[in-house]
Amino acid sequence: MSGRVVFHIDFDYFYAQCEEIRKPDLRTKPVAVCVYSDRGGDSGAIATANYLARRYGVKSGMPIKFAKKKLEEVPESVFLPTDFDYYTEVSDSAMSIIRRYADVFEYVGKDEAYLDVTKRVESDFKRAAHLAQQLKNALRSTVKLSSTVGISSNKLVSKIASDYKKPDGLTIVEPENVESFLDPLPIRSIPGIGKKSEEKLAEISLETISQLRSVDVFTLNGLFGRKVGTYIYNAARGIDDEPVSPRHDPVQYSRIITLKQDSKDFDFLTKD
């Protein structure tokens, strides 16, 4: 659809920010939210960390022991267990505000959503920028939540834009600026391209999206298969026709756990 205006909104360092909302004195300290395992002690992994902790190299997925080592000379650093019930409450409150700003609202997860605002802003990106700032202000004043918004004519570019300037960012990419915006970004900025795909492309000297755009679709299909190759070819050009689609917030049946022991044994891994 031509003339679309799509927001991607992402709550900054969500779990850690929720903890800062609950205890404002944490805002001046490195904070890591941890998924502790059943093994006891510091066994487990970092779920998320605030930006102060990230400055010391603490990242999501990092073993808690490694994170504590990086922060061992920072006595004010704080390690907290996850509280998913509380995070869900904060998310629900925020999402109820976000829905009011959308023509079409698509829930993605506790900390992100897409909004189609085309009718509301009459396809005008300046009006869209004002609307996004109003939304960010409403979240900050009501839920005390900082967020980052990417705005473009489709979901793909909006998601890349929301990751461009964090935290508390607002990036607008109008249709005529899509390629110039994408050009200098690393290939891994494209959603769905992970470390292995990035390495495979680096083997043929491709590191930026502008370099990726020089490769024909047949070469990409040969490397990744037709479906993924075509997606990468289109993504490098900022092409995405997928509509923002309303869907129900999912009921969470899964839970994050750490195994009691390290194992690559399939039978062990599939046990309840």
- At 35-47, the pLDDT tens digits run 998 777 888 999 9
CATH numeric code, 15-83: 3.40.1170.60
Distance CA(23)–CA(122), nearest Å, equals 41
Percent of the chain residues topping a pLDDT of 90: 86
CA dihedral sign, ordered 227, 230, 236, 237: negative
Every domain of the chain with CATH number 1.10.150.20 lies at 183-235
pLDDT at 116: 98
Q: What is the mean pLDDT of residues 65-89?
A: 96
2-11, 38-47, 161-170, 174-183, range with the lowest pLDDT: 38-47
Every domain of the chain with CATH number 3.30.70.270 lies at 6-14+85-177
Residues with Cβ within 8 Å of 157's Cβ and at least 6 positions away in sequence, in order, are 150, 173, 178, 181, 182, 238, 240
Catalytic entry in 89, 106, 112, 179: 112
pLDDT at 259: 52
Residues with Cβ within 8 Å of 117's Cβ and at least 6 positions away in sequence, in order, are 5, 6, 7, 101, 102, 103, 128, 131
Average pLDDT, the chain: 91
Structure tokens at 124: 């005008």
Q: Is 176 a catalytic residue?
A: no
- At 10-57, the pLDDT tens digits run 999 999 999 999 999 999 999 999 999 877 788 899 999 999 999 999
Distance CA(111)–CA(259), nearest Å, equals 26
57-66, 145-154, 259-268, range with the lowest pLDDT: 259-268
Q: What is the mean pLDDT of residues 118-123?
A: 97
CA distances from 254 to 32, 36, 60, 251, 264 (A): 22, 16, 19, 9, 21
| Residue 272 scores a pLDDT above 50 | no
| Residue 227 scores a pLDDT above 60 | yes
Second CATH level (architecture) for the domain 183-235: Orthogonal Bundle (1.10)
Q: What is the mean pLDDT of residues 140-155?
A: 97
CATH numeric code, 6-14+85-177: 3.30.70.270
Q: What is the mean pLDDT of residues 199-220?
A: 95
| Residue 263 scores a pLDDT above 90 | no
pLDDT at 125: 97
Every domain of the chain with CATH number 3.40.1170.60 lies at 15-83
3-state secondary structure 141-194: HHCCCCEEEEEECCHHHHHHHHCCCCCCCEEECCHHHHHHHHCCCEHHHCCCCC
Greater confidence (175 vs 250) lies with: 175
pLDDT band for 248, please (50, 70, 90 cuts).
Answer: low
| Residue 191 scores a pLDDT above 60 | yes
